[in-house]
Structure 1
């Protein structure tokens, strides 16, 4: 996956990461380009898969999802088989799912209302996934930093 990005592309990405809702005109002013040129660049960055999505980040407490947990998952799958991962990925409570090296196979970032709803998720959904052998759950007490912003360089 090789895409060449110039300093203008990087500036556009930096601005969009800070505020994905910024208008094209405002974005053009910030990167010192014509709005039509910026619009074309953003379109190409999306087509190339550099920009994956533009979303709004919702504060979890306002929608009663106060509990954050990381769940380490061990599966019985052999190399190349990701059926457990496919099932886990379908669960809306699973915000992130990563295939990891080490004793466990996957780590999932999960949001729930409270400990009881997390237990219910584990009991009603995780336990029904064929090939899922075991889990270890770490509950977050306090989030000191949480970001999906990548450190974009000024030049490549």
Structure 2
């Protein structure tokens, strides 16, 4: 895939959105010396080009009871286990991220649960597809 070229203004708009996606088009326009309407058109173009794929928020999982943060390396038992495992992981509400990896393991997952019992239940389900190694997050630094 050929990378899309954007100009300096598009890049600056993108950086403002990355820093704070709640900024209005008018506010960004003041920073880049454009009208809000012109900024909106550039943002729509970057979305159409899939440079901007979506928006997200920062949140505190502890405030809603998700106190367990686990990083799991999954070792599948066979090649046939990939499709059902992917379906399981993509549809499970505790799985925050899923990456197919090379090197050690087949997948890396980031999982959040409310307590140890919920994590144990998840790990029991995971054993249907293979083995795993788990590391628990202690504190997020960045």
Q: TM (normalized to structure 2)?
A: 0.89
- Structure 2: stretches of 5+ with no match in the other structure: none
CA distance in 1, matches of 2:10, 2:78: 41
Aligned pair count reads 140
- The match for 1:100 is 101
What SS does structure 1 have at the residue aligned with 2:63?
A: helix
- The match for 1:84 is 85
- Structure 1: stretches of 5+ with no match in the other structure: 146-156
Moved more, 28-37 or 98-107: 28-37
Summarize deviations over 1:110-147 as a string: whole Å, max 9, x none: 11112222112222x3234xxx21111100111111xx
Judging changes above 3 Å, is the alpha-carbon distance between structure 1 residues 5 and 83 closer, same or farther for their aligned structure 2 residues?
farther
CA distance in 2, matches of 1:137, 1:3: 39
- The match for 2:121 is 120
1:133 aligns with 2:130: yes
What SS does structure 2 have at the residue aligned with 1:120?
A: helix
Question: For the Cα contact (< 8 Å) 2:77–2:131, is it kept in 1?
Answer: no
Q: TM (normalized to structure 1)?
A: 0.81
What SS does structure 2 have at the residue aligned with 1:104?
A: coil
Higher helix share: 2
Question: For the Cα contact (< 8 Å) 2:70–2:134, is it kept in 1?
Answer: yes
